[in-house]
Amino acid sequence: MADELTWKDLEVGNIIKEAGNASFRETGDWRTEKPILDKEKCVKCALCWIYCPDAAIKPSEEGYYESDLYYCKGCGICASICPERAITMIAEEEK
Amino acid sequence: MKAQAVKFGEKLVPTKEFLAEGHSFCIGCGEALALRLACKALGKDVIIANATGCIEICTSPLPFTSWRVPWIHTLFENTAAVISGVEAGLKTLTKKNKRPVRDIKCVAIAGDGGTSDIGIQALSGAFERNHEFLYICFDNEAYMNTGVQRSSATPYGASTTTAPAGKFSIGQITRKKNMVAIAAAHDIPYVATACPSYRFDLMKKVRKGAEVKGPAYVHILSPCPTGWRYSTELTVKIGQLAVQTGIFPLYEIENGRYRLNADPPKLKPIEEYLKLQGRYRHLTGEQIERIQEMVNEDYAKLKKKVAASPM
Amino acid sequence: MSQRVALEASHAVAEAVRMADVDVISAYPITPQTHIPERLAEMVANGELNAAYIPVESEHSALSTCLGAAAVGARTFTATAGQGLELMHEVVYIASSMRYPVVMAVCNRALSAPLNVWGDHSDAMAVRDTGWIQVFCQNGQEAFDLTLWAFRVGEDPKVLFPVMVHLDGFTLSHVTEPVILPEQSEVDRFLPRFQYPFALDPDKPMTHGAFGPPDIYSETKLAQEVAFRKSKKVILQGWQEFGDIFHRYYHPVEEYKTEDAQTLLLTMGAFTETAKIVIDERRDKGESIGLISLRLWRPFPFEEFRQAVKGAKVLIVFDRCISFGLGGPVFAEIRSALYDEEPRPKVVGIIGGLGGRDMSEEDFDYVINRGREIAEKGSDRILETVNIR
């Protein structure tokens, strides 16, 4: 994206006006392992949500907390702190 | 409609992310977690000045920004001066009726190097001048952004790239600079330590620091899998052990009064904390014993101050 | 009615800052700048000026504080000199690159070592590439006028660059002269309120100071240079408007008795007034000689400068600084600016007035005589100097 911009596209002082536009960036491709949630075990305590450094876990309509793999970097914190062991990390398959 | 907040018993934590997804912090970064929680605690009405460092680099590669609140970065060592200007500017413009009356929190954030080394002069000046701002130090105990060089906040015995452990060295040969005590020595109304593993405690302290009249300082231990060399999923556990072993106690100094926020009846042996981290892998049993003594000493000193503080 | 009062040049700067109704002043004391912040602190304490005066712990913080205040839309001012300007050096680049229109007075001072608190242009030359609009004052009136004008130009939405107003330490900063102070209503007509379009605001959250990786850094610098060059238009417009209201007209290059002059002397700053006396004397004797002085130093006024030296045979540049291993910095730039001109005067450089060393009329006589000699025969010296043993 940056390499498509010319000097004319930059704001005065290189100010960025679109707040939070980094959310367009995919960080899921950093991952070597991904979290799998076992909904049978999940008690919806939201610990995984609050402890995700990447804000990659989102509350779902049904009240679960699910990883958004577009952002999830696969650190495994969610799996390690889940009191019900409802999350397991599995190897990312080759694309 | 999506939920605005997630409920934890009585506590409500907003779902809104003021620090957008898509940032480039390392996998399992404790600082990113601490920052995310701090931003939730601060909310929308804030202006953040950020020192050069991991946070700045990971959240603002042109033309992208992770910030959903107004944010300014200029340099490494001047963040406390920049936020002084923000605060004085807002106050004066309001006084002169050039902007509406509105409560906007002024917050400066920096790493341990930007705080306890290169930025300490500007910070001391801003404390002394009594600006109304909160300064948050995200302490990952070395210059991580440039590749794990030692800082004055690196603990005794840790191996870093510029104080490596070797045949003739234990690694860091000095004790961690007590930045919290230095902040407190300015007689500012609020000083606290926090750790993202204690999520509600962290958010409460950040909120308190932002709301207090006058300068406030919150020092957050931010476990770093890259620099401390531990497995990425252990970030929360490492933070818990730092508190449970007493090497990083959670406490507040409110108007000079010390209070411990977590005081386990018996501290866990420091070895439990050290053994999980590659930066301490070289330590001998004797050296670990020495570190245990230091932790005991420091903890006892802190407890004395707590005991001497009127309730 | 405007009034004519006796004012020290430093205090004239402070008066301009007061009449500009500045919002935030942040400064650290350093000789010979002290009279400016002292007077401003007094004005704030007395209620003559409704502003925040922030007594910071260093020059680095002085300018950094101004950045923070400017970022929320405050009109800001600081002042420094010599070592102070060196200490804030990295912040100086930030101010221009992030486009905060801070106004800074610099009471030009030599650089240590050895420690020397007196005047020369070493501090100014060390920041010539920093992207600030820079002007040099010759007297107290100019110190007042150019400080006021600095806010008008720097804060213009088409400009948004910081402005440095240079006044020679002691030889100007501490000199008391008659200065005409305008009516506040005239100042208000000249200087609109600062309306910063990108103020940090929770309702419109913007990111200031994102970092520039290699795939975009070059573009940021090109954008900055284009905008900086374009500021020239507003610089000239600002001086036109200033003249229309206050009846004193300024130009990027001041020409003094240059008509048909075979020899030109080029000076900057307060010694220009001494040099003019020498030019007068020589003109009276029938010599074909004149003087030019660069008032605008950055962006460099190529066009006006080339026009001003047209027809001259010899141009003698007087520098108050040594660029080690090169010579006089102004001389080097002037010679480069004329390289493509045909015909062009022979350009020679002489250095003097370092660290508070005075320049008398006799010294300027020497500069002119020696300058002509070098132009004719060349020089075999490492450095051509005046009044240096």
The pLDDT of residue B107: 98
CB-count burial class (<10 Å; 0-12, 13-18, 19+) for C79? buried
Instruction: Confirm whether C8 is domain-assigned.
Output: yes
Q: Among C99, C209, C223, whose Cβ lies nearest the Cβ of A7?
A: C223
> Considering only the top CATH level, what class is B5-308?
alpha beta
Q: A26-91: which CATH topology? A: Alpha-Beta Plaits (3.30.70)
Q: Is C100 on the interface with A (CB under 8 A)?
A: yes
Kindly report whether the peptide bond that precedes residue C343 is cis, defined as omega within 30 degrees of 0: yes
Q: Among C197, C213, C226, whose Cβ lies nearest the Cβ of A2?
A: C213
Q: What is the mean pLDDT of residues B150-174?
A: 98
Residues, chain A, total?
95
Do C290 and C203 belong together in one domain?
A: no
Q: Among B47, B82, B93, whose Cβ lies nearest the Cβ of C64?
A: B82
Do C187 and C299 belong together in one domain?
A: no
**CA pair distance C266, A44, nearest whole angstrom:** 79
Do C290 and C223 belong together in one domain?
A: no
Instruction: Confirm whether C117 is domain-assigned.
Output: yes
Report the residue of C200, C203, C215 to disrupt the B interface, i.e. the one with the largest count of B CBs within 10 Å.
Answer: C200
Q: Enumerate residues 6+ apart whose C-beta is below 8 A from B137.
A: B109, B110, B111, B112, B114, B115, B116, B179, B217, B218, B219, B220
Do C164 and C25 belong together in one domain?
A: yes
Low-confidence ranges of chain C (pLDDT < 70): none
For A74, the token pair is 């696969």
Write down which residue in C203, C218, C246 finishes a domain: C246
The pLDDT of residue B1: 53
Roughly what angle, to the nearest 10 degrees, separates helices C217-246 and C89-97?
80
Of the pLDDT bands very low, low, confident and very high (cuts 50, 70, 90), residue A3 is: confident
Of the pLDDT bands very low, low, confident and very high (cuts 50, 70, 90), residue A1 is: low
B84 neighbors B126 (Cβ within 8 angstroms): yes
State the count of interchain CB pairs (< 8 A) between A and C.
Answer: 51
Backbone angles phi, psi at B21, to 5 degrees: -65, 165
pLDDT tens, residue by residue, C253-290: 999 999 999 999 999 999 999 999 999 999 999 999 99
Q: Among B21, B59, B69, whose Cβ lies nearest the Cβ of A55?
A: B21
Single out the residue of C267, C298, C367, C61 nearest to residue C159, CA to CA.
Answer: C298
C49 neighbors C18 (Cβ within 8 angstroms): yes
The pLDDT of residue B145: 95
Do C195 and C285 belong together in one domain?
A: no
* DSSP secondary structure of A7-67: GGGSPGGG-B-STTGGGGS--GGG-SEEEEE-TTT-----HHHHT-TT--EEE-TTS-EEE
C302 neighbors C337 (Cβ within 8 angstroms): yes
B311 neighbors B261 (Cβ within 8 angstroms): no
pLDDT tens, residue by residue, B63-103: 999 999 999 999 999 999 999 999 999 999 999 999 999 99
The pLDDT of residue B80: 98
The pLDDT of residue A95: 56
Start-to-end CA distance of chain A, whole Å, equals 23
Write down which residue in C246, C277, C298 finishes a domain: C246
Structural domain boundaries in chain A: 26-91
Do C186 and C259 belong together in one domain?
A: no
pLDDT at B53 over 90: yes
**CA pair distance B17, C108, nearest whole angstrom:** 49
C289 neighbors C264 (Cβ within 8 angstroms): yes
Buried b (16+ CB within 10 A) or exposed e, B226-251: bbbbbbbbbbbbbbbbbbbbbbbbbb
pLDDT at B263 over 90: no
Give residue ranges of A with CB < 8 Å to any B CB: 1-2, 5, 10, 14, 16, 18-27, 30, 46, 49-56, 59, 68, 70-71, 73-77, 79-81, 89
Q: Enumerate residues 6+ apart whose C-beta is below 8 A from C70.
A: B85, B89, C76, C100, C101, C102, C196
Do C281 and C372 belong together in one domain?
A: yes
Of the pLDDT bands very low, low, confident and very high (cuts 50, 70, 90), residue B201 is: very high
Q: What is the mean pLDDT of residues B232-249?
A: 98
Q: Is B195 on the interface with A (CB under 8 A)?
A: no
Q: Is C141 on the interface with B (CB under 8 A)?
A: no
**CA pair distance B2, C55, nearest whole angstrom:** 49
Kindly report whether the peptide bond that precedes residue B63 is cis, defined as omega within 30 degrees of 0: yes
The pLDDT of residue A93: 82
Nearest CA in chain C to B89: C69
Do C353 and C221 belong together in one domain?
A: no
B115 Cα to chain C: minimum distance (Å): 14
Do C234 and C343 belong together in one domain?
A: no
For B286, the token pair is 């004797």
CA angle (C96, C98, C103) in 5-degree steps: 45
Instruction: Confirm whether C384 is domain-assigned.
Output: no
Nearest CA in chain B to A24: B22
Q: What is the mean pLDDT of residues A59-80?
A: 96
* DSSP secondary structure of C154-195: HTSTTT---EEEEEETTTTTT-EEEEEE--HHHHHHHSPPP-
pLDDT tens, residue by residue, C33-82: 999 999 999 999 999 999 999 999 999 999 999 999 999 999 999 999 99
Nearest CA in chain B to C211: B61
- Across all residues in chain C, what is the average pLDDT? 97
CB contact under 8 Å between A55 and B17, yes or no, is yes
Q: CATH code at C127?
A: 3.40.50.970
**CA pair distance B126, B81, nearest whole angstrom:** 6
Q: What is the mean pLDDT of residues B221-237?
A: 98
CB contact under 8 Å between C206 and A17, yes or no, is yes
Q: CATH code at C312?
A: 3.40.50.920
Do C151 and C199 belong together in one domain?
A: yes
pLDDT tens, residue by residue, C9-21: 999 999 999 999 9
Do C276 and C343 belong together in one domain?
A: yes
Interface of C with B in 26-45 (CB under 8 A): 26
Buried b (16+ CB within 10 A) or exposed e, C182-216: beeeebeebbeebebebbbebeebbbbbbbbeeeb
pLDDT tens, residue by residue, B277-287: 999 999 999 99
Nearest CA in chain B to C198: B70
Domain carrying residue C108: 3-246
Single out the residue of B10, B59, B64 nearest to residue B32, CA to CA.
Answer: B59
Backbone angles phi, psi at B135, to 5 degrees: -110, 125
Q: Enumerate residues 6+ apart whose C-beta is below 8 A from B287.
A: B157, B170
The pLDDT of residue A88: 97
| β strands within chain B, DSSP E | 5-8, 11-14, 46-50, 71-73, 105-111, 134-139, 190-194, 216-221, 251-254, 257-260
Write down which residue in C246, C270, C291 finishes a domain: C246
Interface of B with A in 18-47 (CB under 8 A): 19-25, 27-30, 32-33, 36-37
The pLDDT of residue B85: 98
Contacts of A13 in chain C (CB under 8 A): 97-100, 160, 198, 208
